Amino acid sequence: MAKCEICQKDLLSGRKISITRSQVSRRALTKQKPNIRTVKAVVDGTPTTMHVCTRCLRSNAVKRS
C-alpha cells in the first residue's frame, strides 16, 4: 500500500453502519485509501520519483520538476 512520503498519510479504517427500521442492523469494516499520486519532485537538487497525496500537492509542500 502506498503511503504519502511527506505527511505519512496511510490507510484509514472504520465501520460502516447500515440503519434499517430505526435500528442498527449491520456493522461492516471499511477501508478508505488516500489519494496518492506518483510525481517527479526535486529533493536536494536531484529529481526523484515520490508517492505524494493530493493534499500535499495542493499545499505546495512538494517542489515538482
Question: What pTM, to 2 d.p., does this model score?
Answer: 0.74
The better pLDDT of the pair 3, 22 is held by: 3
Write the CA distances from 16 to 31, 32, 34, 35, 41, integer angstroms.
10, 11, 18, 20, 37
The mean of the pLDDT values for the chain is: 89
Summarize pLDDT for 41-63 with one digit per residue, the tens: 999 999 999 999 999 999 999 99
